[in-house]
Structure 1
Amino acid sequence: IFKVMIDETLGTEFVSNNEEEPVVLLQKIEINKIALLFSAGWCPPSEKFIEKLTEFYNEVNKESKKFEIIYVSADRDQEQFNEHFAKMPWVAIPFDDTERIERLEDLCEPEMIPKLCFLTRNASEV
């Protein structure tokens, strides 16, 4: 559990699988509880974890959106990122935004993947 001010840490733009809205701005994410998902398509445990996490995400947000996930990639290239991210219903840090990815890795220290790192906008505990 981290107490972090999200707006100062995450940056402002995220990519989406939604063709109508391929770029999502931070201010459109009105949820206070956010999890960073550190994962990669080359990692078999990540694949299974994402299946279960997607079920949980869809169930929790069924009636109204209560929580958001942001994918932070450890994929080896853009093609692998695209293939892996296509399976996810949430947003992601752009693959080529290495500065932001490194900043988030420094914050959450994902020694192994997959890893979830929980944040709140108002620095309260999740």
Structure 2
Amino acid sequence: MSAIEGLLGSTVKNQQGEDVPVSSFTGAGTVVGLYFSAHWCPPCRAFTPELCKFYIKMKDAGKEFEIVFISSDRDEAGFKGYFETMPWLALDYSSVDLKSKLGEQFEVSGIPSFILLDGESGEIITKDGRGGVSSDPEGGNFPWNQ
């Protein structure tokens, strides 16, 4: 089991609601972003389109990079509607305890919060991925090692 599987569990969801093995996007040379956000949050709704553009640029450039959305939405309908706007994966909405545990573990004090992890070790690369995306939208210095 990888360190990221230890954090997220063995699967996350894709846009079709299907299980995607966490092992399929982890390992040496990979970067995993944890995106704490919610549809009811105006700063989140402003940042999500920026992050979508960035994600697509990094994927098109061949970067070994995946994002997992960790929702703070108040209901599943809000989660689903918001997740539909994202090109990445998500923690299952019903994983309330795990979402709370991750928020505490990474000291998330507000949203949106975008944390980048080494996909092999699970170590934090940066807790300010949001600042990285905003200041370096082309990803020239990605993953903005601290």
Please give the range of the TM-score, normalised by the shorter of the 2 chains.
Answer: 0.7 to 0.9
RMSD of the TM alignment (CA)? 1.7
| Percentage of pairs with the same residue | 29
Give the C-alpha shift of residue 65 in structure 1.
4.1
Question: Paired residue for 1:77?
Answer: 75
1:51 partnered with 2:58: no
Letter in 2 for 1:69: I
Aligned equivalents of 2:6 and 2:19: distance in 1? Answer: 19
Give the C-alpha shift of residue 124 in structure 1.
5.4
TM-score scaled by length of structure 1: 0.87
Deviation sequence 1:49-75 (CA, Å, 0-9, x none): 000000000001104242111000000
Segments of structure 2 that go 5 or more residues without pairing to the other structure are 126-146
Deviation sequence 1:11-30 (CA, Å, 0-9, x none): 1111111x3x7221111224
Report matched runs for 1:31-70 at 5 Å: 32-70=30-68
Which of 1 and 2 has higher RCO (CA within 8 Å, sep 6+)?
1
Letter in 2 for 1:114: P
Conservation of the 8 A alpha-carbon contact between 2:44 and 2:112? yes
Question: Paired residue for 1:8?
Answer: 6
Aligned to 1:118, the other structure's residue is in SS state: strand
- Report how many residues are paired: 120
Aligned to 1:110, the other structure's residue is in SS state: coil
Segments of structure 1 that go 5 or more residues without pairing to the other structure are none
Aligned equivalents of 1:30 and 1:123: distance in 2? Answer: 9
Aligned to 1:99, the other structure's residue is in SS state: helix
Aligned to 1:88, the other structure's residue is in SS state: coil
